Amino acid sequence: NNNEADLFHPRFILRQTAEKMIIRYFGCCIAFFFSIILSAKALMMRTGMMMKLATIDTLKIKVLESDAGAALAAEDALRERGGGTLNAKCKLRLFDTEKEPRLILYRDPSYWCPYCAKLSMQLEEKRIPYKIEMVPMRSYGIKSQDFLNKVPGGFLPAIELDGNVYTESLDIMVMVDDTFNGPEHRRTLPPRGTPEFEEARQLLGLERQLFRSWCDFVFRGSLGSKRAFERDLHVVEKELERGGKDKPFFMGQSDPGIVDMQYFSHLERIFASVAYWKGECIRGDYKKYPNINAFFDALEKRPSYALTRSDFYTTITDIPPQYGNGVFDRMAPKQHSYEKAISGAEWTLPMNPDALEVKLQPGWEEFEPNAHIEALFRLVNNFSAVAKFASRPAGEGVGRWGTFRPDRSALADPEAKPAKGQALSDVEAALSIVAHILADKLEIKAEHAVTLDEIISDAKRRATTASCLIYLRDRIGVPRDMSYPAARALRCTLGWTVEHLQKKKI
């Protein structure tokens, strides 16, 4: 009796509605059932991918089990006792003696002071036992009253020899060469009154001239300054021609002397600044500057220099508080790409082995194979301090030191306080993922991402953690913290982790 009239019969409507409800109800149940199965499966998959994070202590043991990690630990242990090769953390250099050193070198903790670097190389090359006291340059912190009582002007470097304090690096180097003149200490300056001594004096003058024309070119950019700088650099290039391949140092020598020491630290700064601000490549251009490049190839093999050398990023960030900002040559065809490369455009994973940044800085090949181990070793052995340092943007005082003070480094926050609680533990968690990626030889695995997402899922916490990792990434200093290849491995890993945190949680 399904005629039209019945369709509006209340019982019919009721029956129809009940049937619909039953169908809907069962439909919902089935959908609900399947959705539970699917999400349980997804959860199981995610949980399966989630790493059971090894503790930092376990990673410490793991890194020590590798040959490269064990070698780093052994070298650090030697350094503690005054032996081993020089790096920025050394505080005692004994050169096989057991006597208390007569000399204390006061230098900046990061090798950012070029005058400290050259004096340090002389002490190493001459194998003079010495102690090292670290004193911050004014752009990075306040000097102790104790140091200011000794050196009222506060200038670095300074030395204390048998209790007397001396300043002015070149004067110190000459005095040191005269004082430590026995057979166990190679001479670094030709004897006075000889033509070689006169030649050395002239070359020292040429270095000052190059220094001035570099300052004029890079920091003032005055008219004609590029030509003047290049002219001086070519004179230096010509001077280095003398000894040929076997004797790549000034005055045709096979070992570096005071003249070489006077040159290298400013040349190092010249290479980085001219690439960054002017788009010109000097180190690495073997065609145009074969002798300057051969000089550095030889220098980089010397233990007195190998681990005190900086990278371009560190140099271009430590130069401005000392010298002012460079003037960009926007017309130079390569300036923009060099600037981008040096300031970290490619700091992410997977690492690009052909990155322009790497091409601009040759001579680190020895450190490249174990770069990830070196970075991991430094990170895990200093984990809690690194995490606290990185957490500063979530703590207090970041930016206060450098605000309205161009003479102070914008990257330094000597008075900043680390974060506590959640923000600090998030940074620790993110850094622990960074450590795992390094331990996995920089290979990104799904579990790295999933684990990070599980631990830090809240958008605000992710953004805060990302800002902390950026803070750390931009403050890794070469040679202070590690070699350039290790710093690059760590910067790239931090870069990837930041990018991941900045993506929305999936």
Residues forming contacts to ligand GSH in the complex (CB under 6 A) are 113-115, 137-139, 154-157, 168-170, 322
Give least dist CB 477 to ligand GSH, A.
15
The CA-based dihedral angle spanning residues 135, 138, 142, 148, taken in that order and rounded to the nearest 10 degrees: 60
Give least dist CB 245 to ligand GSH, A.
32
When the beta carbons of 110 and 464 are compared against ligand GSH, the nearer one is 110
CB burial of 289-305 (b: ≥16 within 10 Å; e: otherwise) equals bebbbbbbebbbeeebb
When the beta carbons of 144 and 457 are compared against ligand GSH, the nearer one is 144
When the beta carbons of 139 and 314 are compared against ligand GSH, the nearer one is 139
Residue 92's DSSP bridge partners are 131
The helix/strand/coil state of 146 is: helix
The helix/strand/coil state of 304 is: helix
Residue 158's DSSP bridge partners are 106, 167
Residue nearest to ligand GSH (CB): 137
The helix/strand/coil state of 159 is: strand
CA distance 478 to 311: 6
The answer to whether the CB of 250 falls within 8 A of the CB of 203 is yes
When the beta carbons of 291 and 314 are compared against ligand GSH, the nearer one is 314
User: For 186, what's the count of Cα atoms within 13 Å in the CB-facing half-sphere?
Assistant: 14
When the beta carbons of 106 and 338 are compared against ligand GSH, the nearer one is 106
Give least dist CB 325 to ligand GSH, A.
17
Give least dist CB 258 to ligand GSH, A.
12
Give least dist CB 153 to ligand GSH, A.
8
Residue 8 Cα to chain centre, angstroms? 82
When the beta carbons of 137 and 307 are compared against ligand GSH, the nearer one is 137
Q: Is the peptide bond before 190 cis (omega within 30 degrees of 0)?
A: no
CA-CA distances (angstroms) from residue 395 to 170, 297, 442, 474? 43, 44, 30, 17
Structure tokens at 427: 């940074």
Give least dist CB 168 to ligand GSH, A.
5
Structure tokens at 198: 């006169």
When the beta carbons of 262 and 304 are compared against ligand GSH, the nearer one is 262
Give least dist CB 397 to ligand GSH, A.
21
Give least dist CB 261 to ligand GSH, A.
12
When the beta carbons of 139 and 213 are compared against ligand GSH, the nearer one is 139
